[in-house]
Amino acid sequence: MSAAVLTPDAVRAIDGRLERAGLLDPAMEIAGLAVARAVQERWPSGRVLLLAGGGANGGDALVAARHLLAAGREVTVLARPATHPLTRLNRRRLRAVGGEVRPLTPATLGRAARDAAVLVDGLLGTGFRPPLRDDLARVIGALNAARARDLNVLAIDLPSGLDAMRADVPGAAVHADVTVTFIGPKPAQLFGDAAAQCGEVRTVPLPVPAAWLQDVQVAARPDDATLGALLPVRTASAHKGTAGRVWIVGGHPGTVGAPALAGLGALRAGAGLVTVHSAADVPLVTPELMAQRHADLRTFLTSTGLTGTGARPDAVAIGMGLGPEAPALAREVLDWEIPTVLDADALQPDLCGYGHDRCVWTPHPGEAARVLGVPTPEVTRDPLAAARALQDRLGGVVVLKGGPSVVARAGDLSVSRGGHPGMASAGMGDTLCGILAALLAQGLDPWDAARAGVRLHARAGEIAAVRFGYGLGATDVAHDLGRAWADLRAAPLTGVYAGV
């Protein structure tokens, strides 16, 4: 299954359909109960301070307060004037069971936080857009000051002050230990500094038809079972000639490690034959890897193109350490119209328009900025929009690398899962290119190869991190690709709605 990545507009559309179906009230009840359960599981003792805004986010907080009160917890609720009909209704319900609601100000928050164990942030939801009003900024300042004194913070749907669409933190914002979000993740919970502000993100399913989500989601986030099912399975009669022939075209004096790592990634991802073609002597990081040095790499590629498909591999990865000739050499390979992965030096603006349906482009944010002609922070602020723009310019499939990576094709975005911060080291992207080329050579289409390959690489990084700790090398990750492959193939199916 895939989780739906939702924008504020998507959330509003779903809420509207729930309201028209008479289901918004029960959905809020489920959401508030989930928040109460999260508090009970994570912090089972001590007084709970809940902050309720005027909108639906505040309604969720009031429902949570009622369930916590029923569970025997000591509860304090501070609230802003209610504007949403269900928020007003749930104020009445809370009072009916003995709960009290007091006005929220920085002063009342400061006093109430002194002997609280947990604070629940239900001030602002996904509909908030900066800038923050001064009075709310003061409240959030008081909240974060209380957290600095060891108060635990749980945010409902999104920490107040964050823009749900942005990966940066636009100003004053709540820093949460846990965020309980509903139906599917929001972009701010996935990327950059905003994701760090969210802490641990728990996604709570609601009884929403899958078709509603498919209508409005900005991206999908497939689970391991879905991606593991895409990985090729060899038959008993397979041999190296049927397991995929990969060429790695890269490297020049001083940058020979990059193509070697790509070759290792391709071998560990199941390619039967891997050859590195380079203008320099490439080290054989494993004896199974073949290497050919060419005095004139362009002449070699041109002659291969002229001799027809029989002389060509099943897939090519090009650009890793290739140097200034990369755009011209990439054009030669793209003319073959075979499955091709383009990385590093082959990611240049002058290749826009040369892509085809069988190629995969793999920029990191700096390379993406170069192709788009924008500052790098513009890419990292909204990776989904950047990936979409890159695919529009380059064609084929784009993997915008990051934590997490975004895979884009015409009309579709997919956000990866997992990985480890220790993978932020040289050579990781080269290894990923080899993995993608191997999957293409084994028959996966570019969209499936990109989504499965990115997750395979990330899972190998998670496994390697258990052995090596924080600092990981690309070779460490490559050597765990086999275990990662087995994990993804064995991953259990997951459901969408826990109530079924």
In angstroms, the CA 327 to CA 73 distance is 65
Q: How far is CA 436 from CA 54, 240, 414, 416, 454, in A?
A: 48, 18, 16, 14, 8
Q: What is the 3 state secondary structure string of 267-295?
A: HHCCCCEEEEEECCCCCCCCCCCEEEECC
Whole-number pLDDT of residue 308: 66
pLDDT in tens, the chain (500 residues): 789 999 999 999 999 999 999 999 999 999 999 999 999 999 999 999 999 999 999 999 999 999 999 999 999 999 999 999 999 999 999 999 999 999 999 999 999 999 999 999 999 999 999 999 999 999 999 999 989 888 999 999 999 999 999 999 999 999 999 999 999 999 999 999 999 999 999 999 998 999 999 999 999 999 999 999 999 988 888 888 888 999 999 998 888 999 999 999 999 999 999 999 999 988 888 889 999 999 999 999 998 877 766 678 999 999 999 999 999 999 999 999 999 999 999 999 999 999 999 999 999 999 999 999 999 999 999 999 999 999 999 999 999 999 999 999 999 999 999 999 999 999 999 999 999 999 999 999 999 999 999 999 999 999 999 999 888 999 999 999 999 999 999 988 665 433 32
> How far is it, in rounded angstroms, from Cα 312 to Cα 294?
16
Q: pLDDT by residue (tens digit) across 130-181?
A: 999 999 999 999 999 989 888 999 999 999 999 999 999 999 999 999 999 9
- pLDDT at 496 (0 to 100): 44
List C-alpha distances in Å: 387 to 218, 281, 344, 396, 408.
12, 35, 16, 12, 6
Whole-prediction pTM value? 0.94
Helix (H) or strand (E) holding 303: helix 297-307
CA distance 330 to 371: 15
Which uninterrupted H or E stretch holds 79?
A: strand 75-79
Counting Cβ atoms within 10 Å, is residue 144 exposed (0-12), middle (13-18) or buried (19+)? middle
Which pLDDT tens digit goes with each residue over 22-37?
Answer: 999 999 999 999 999 9
